[in-house]
Every structure is written in C-alpha cells, then in structure tokens.
Amino acid sequence: MPQAPSPALLPRASPAEARPLLVGYSGGVDSTVLLHLLLEAKASGRWDRLRAIHVHHGLHPEADAWARHCRRACDALGVPLRIVRVSVSGDAGTGPEAAARAARHAAFAAELRPGEVLALAHHRDDQAETFLLRALRGSGAEGLGAMRPWRRYGRGWLWRPLLDAARADLLDAARARGLAWIEDPANADPGHDRNFLRHRVLPLLERRWPQARAAFAASAGLAAEASALLGEEDAQALASVRTPDPWTLSVAALLSLPAPRRARVLRLWVEGLGLPPLPARGLRQVETQMLHAASDRNPAFAWHGVALRRWRDLLHAGPQQPVLPAELELAWSPPYPPLLLPGGGSLAFENRDDGNARHPGPAAETGAAPAPELRVRARRGGERIRLPRRDHSHSLKHVLQALGVPPWVRARMPLLVDGDGAVLAAGDIAVSASLDAWLRDRRLRLAWSPGAVFE
C-alpha cells in the first residue's frame, strides 16, 4: 500500500477510535481518499473493523459501471462492500438533490449496525457551500452551523473526519498516491444550487477574498458553537413549559418566555417528538393566532401530515387523523374479536391484569347474562351516558369536555352502543355504569387505539 501522504488529513484523535466503521464510498475522489486514509489508520491499530457502502441511485447511465468500479477497488483493498440500490422519488417537492440525499441517508441509516460509525468524506469546501446555501435560505444558528463532525445517527454515529481539509488537499493526496476514482458529470452542472456556488460564486469571491471558503467554514464552526450554547438553555426552557403529557405544552408558560426563545423551544419540542421540522410559517401562526386565541377558539396549523392545535391552556402536537365517517355503523358480535376502525385504530377487549387482547365470548362460564350484540358508530350529537356511581345520565358532550378530551379527539372517538342504541362507551375514555359492571365481572377493560394516521 502507498505511503501515507502529507499533510495528515485525519484528525489525530477522534471519538470514533476503536469503533467499527462503515465508510460511505461513492467512488469519487473524496470518498476514495477517505477510504485509503481509514484503511491505513486501521493498519496502525486505530480501528479493528472497517467496511464500506456504495449507494446506487440509478440516476445516471454509468451508475452500474460506478458500482462495479467500487466493487473492484474494495476487493483489491480487502474491504467488505455493500452495494445498496435505492429509488429516488421525483415527486417529493424538494428537488432532485434533496431527494437523492434523502434516499442515500435512508440507505445509510438502514445499513448501520448498533454502535457502528458512518464515516463520510465531506470536507471544508463542502462546509463552506452548505453554510452559504443555508444562509440564502434564511437559516438561524442551527442551520448556519452546517455539518457537525460528530453526532448520533440511526443506531450508531456519524463522523466527518475531513471537515478541516480543503478539496485541493484531497485531490493532491489522491494524485500523490496514484489513486483511481470516478467523476460524476452531474457535479459540473451549474443547474444544481451547490454546483452553482462551487463553480460560479465561490471562485468569484476568492478573486477578491482568497480565504473565502475557509472563512465560511470557520463561520459555520462558530455558529455551531453558538447553537450548542443556546441548545442548553433551550432544553431548560422546554422543561419549564412541559406538562405530564409529552405531546402538550402549557400556553401560559410559553407566553412567559421571550418570543425568540419561544420559537427555539417550539422547534426543539417538535423535533424531540420525532415530527417533521416546524416551518417558519408555523411559528408565525403560533405567535399570531394560537397563543393569544380566545377560549372558544381552537386554531390549528398543519404540515406534512401533522398538526399543532391550541385548546384551552394547552398547545397540542401530533399526527393528523381523519374523523370517523358520520354514517359509520359496525356490528360487534361475540366473541368480540378486535375491531378495526376506518382510517386506522381499533377497539378491543383486554385482560384487566396483563393488557393482552382477549375475546370475552359468551358469558355463560361466569354465570352472567349472555354476551350482548354491540354496535359501533360515530357521534351524531345529543347522546347521553350514565356513568358508574351516578343516579342519572349526563350529556356525553359535557362529560367529554369535563374529562378534558380535545375536539379533534372527540371527532374520531367511536361510540359503543347496545341493541337499543344506549351509549355504553365513548372510546375507552367514558364508560357507562352497565358496561363497567359487565367488564368487571369478566376482569376485562375496553381499549381504544386511535391509530396514528398521517394524511
């Protein structure tokens, strides 16, 4: 193997030390140099396991040839290679670059083993381009922080060891070693935003400011540091506005925060729930319509199949779910197998002791009355229910309001009724006295799963 070149492009120390590595290997010059550097470091004992992954996007006529090149190169180096074919969605609305990147990262995350480190060959010039792209999109400190050298990723970690190295240094290293790599002609197409910056904008800037790329990359590093400091305070502020339900925040507590901090807290909250990033227009709507809404208003903001909703003194987040069809009428007969509901979700009887689904069947074995024929339907208005330990019935609407059930949950809540149409239960939140006694006699409980349907 050729001798290691100068300068030393890999960091002297890294949190990736002694961990198994998965190298993202496109076959281009950057990933080719990274693969050779890591292989040499492995020989010196810094890593004991190393393998590579090549993502085949199928977007170029030479894509098969590129995959074969990567296979030959890895075979010659004795590096196990996994080639993964992906389908790049053309209708995601994010553009071809973003769609390909999303497909690539999905393949990386799926392949990464627990505790393994994904090593990618992004370098200082990539960092400068990312900083500019995000600045042009109006990003804050998190976005301007661009690419982090080390972070959690899927079941393991993501490491970018070359972020301090310039593209020219990698090219010099490849030539000094006599390495072979492939050239993707798409990298020269100025129709792509990143390529336009790389080939048109940055060279122009460097005529006036020769260190422009290094300066942009340094600014990205400073923004990342500022973001980390702000993040600690954001986490404390989020803790101060949380409720026992992780999907809700206190409106009164939110209003006690300064508006800029409030925006950061909302983004952090949404991210922590695993929901799509909250767009800027959503933050504006929270500020202008939701936080100051009258008590009889329930404003909402929806995006990518999820929604923020204001109800009473709480801000709710969660997936959008369709309401039950008004004409819904389902028979539920003994032995009462779990009943699937339109649009997702189900009703089932569960063992009161262990929560496992159970078919009650005929009640003869307990000596109780035979199991009745039940029906499930949508709410139509005007229903009443007699709760346990109550002498008379109450308006179901008022019962659900008193129990704090939000309107959008009520709209999806199935009603369980008997043969005469008397309401036995609303979901599993309000259960009638008669059904409660029937369930207790069989050591059962009614369980309603609303489902998590993304529209």
Q: What is the pLDDT of residues 244-274, one digit of tens each?
A: 999 999 999 999 999 999 999 999 999 899 8
pLDDT at 370: 54
Tens digits of per-residue pLDDT, 188-198?
888 888 999 99
Give phi and psi for 294, each to the nearest 5: -65, 160
Q: What percent of the chain has pLDDT over 90?
A: 59
Angle at the Cα of 96 (from 60 to 204), degrees rounded to 5? 95
Both tokens of residue 167? Answer: 């593209």
Give me 51's structure tokens: 């393998």
Q: Can you list the alpha helix ranges (DSSP code H) found in 242-317?
A: 251-255, 259-272, 280-285
Residues 139-151 have a mean pLDDT of 88
User: ∠ CA 167-172-175 to the nearest 5 degrees?
Assistant: 125
Residues 6+ apart with CB under 8 A from 126: 147, 163, 167
Amino acid of residue 357: A
Per-residue model confidence as pLDDT tens digits over 293-320:
887 788 999 998 899 999 989 999 988 8
Q: Is the pLDDT of residue 25 over 90?
A: yes
pLDDT for 289 equals 92
Which domains, and CATH codes, for the chain? 21-219 (3.40.50.620), 242-319 (1.20.59.20), 329-449 (no CATH)
pLDDT at 366: 44
Interval 432-453 mean pLDDT = 85
Q: How far does the chain reach from its first CA to its final CA, in angstroms?
A: 54
* Lowest-confidence region among 9-23, 107-121, 344-358: 344-358
What is the pLDDT at residue 241? Answer: 97
In the predicted structure, residue 129 carries a pLDDT above the cut 90: yes
* H or E segment to which residue 377 belongs: strand 374-377
- Sign of CA pseudo-dihedral 274, 275, 279, 283: negative
Mean pLDDT over residues 132-148, rounded?
88
- Give the pLDDT of residue 372: 77
Separation in Å, CA 67 to CA 81, 82, 89, 420: 10, 10, 20, 68
Neighbours of 321 (CB within 10 A): 21
User: Residue 80: what pLDDT?
Assistant: 97
pLDDT of residue 323 exceeding 90, the answer is: no
Poorest-confidence range of 198-207, 239-248, 333-342? 333-342
Distance from C-alpha of 54 to C-alpha of 305, rounded to nearest angstrom: 32
Give the pLDDT of residue 363. Answer: 43
Inter-residue long-range contacts of 361-366, CB under 8 Å, 24+ positions, other chains counted: 361/334, 361/335, 361/336, 362/334, 362/335, 363/441, 363/442, 366/441, 366/442
pLDDT at 416: 93
Give the C-alpha separation, 332 to 434, whole Å: 17
188 or 178: whose pLDDT is higher? 178
pLDDT digits (tens, 9 = 90+) for 372-423: 789 999 988 899 999 998 888 999 999 998 998 888 888 889 999 998 889 9
* Higher-pLDDT residue of 297, 283: 283
Res. 77: pLDDT tops 50: yes
Mean predicted confidence (pLDDT) in 153-179: 94
Residue 314 dihedral angles phi and psi, to the nearest 5°: -125, 145
CA distance 414 to 103: 38
Residue 11 pLDDT > 90 = no
Has residue 5 got a pLDDT over 60?
Answer: no
As a whole number, the mean pLDDT across the chain is 88
Residues 19-25, mean pLDDT to the nearest whole number? 95
- Does 121 or 279 have the greater pLDDT score? 121
Do 306 and 408 form a contact (C-beta atoms < 8 A)? no
Known binding site for ATP: residues?
A: 26-31
The pLDDT score that the predictor gives to residue 352 is: 81
User: Cα separation of 187 and 87, whole Å?
Assistant: 20
Check residue 94 and give its pLDDT.
Answer: 57
Mean pLDDT for 194-203 is 94
Handedness of CA 264, 270, 272, 277 (dihedral sign): negative
Q: Looking at residue 1, what is its pLDDT? A: 41
3-state secondary structure of 102: helix
CA-CA distances (angstroms) from residue 373 to 139, 336, 358, 362, 418? 59, 9, 17, 11, 7
Among residues 272, 309, 37, which one has the least CA distance to residue 170? Answer: 37
Res. 367: pLDDT tops 60? no
d(CA 78, CA 274): 39
Average pLDDT (15-29) is 92
Compute the C-alpha angle 60/63/65, nearest 5°: 135
* Feature table: binding site: 26-31
- At 100, the amino acid letter reads A
pLDDT (0 to 100) of residue 106: 92
134 in helix, strand or coil? helix
Joined together, the tokens standing for residue 383 give 């229903």
3-class secondary-structure state, position 296: coil
What is the distance between the alpha carbons of residues 5 and 302, in angstroms, rounded to a whole number?
Answer: 53
pTM of the full predicted structure? 0.65
Q: Tokens for 355?
A: 């929560």
To which residue do tokens 């208005």 refer? 381
Q: What is the DSSP string of 308-368?
A: EEEETTEEEEEE--PPPPTT-EEEE-TT---EE-TTS-EEEEEETTT--B-----GGGGTS
Bridge partners of residue 103, in order along the sequence = none
Q: Quote the DSSP letter at residue 188.
A: G
Q: Work out the pLDDT band at 280, boundaries 50, 70, 90.
A: confident
Can you give 158-170 as a three-state secondary structure string?
Answer: EECCCCCCCHHHH
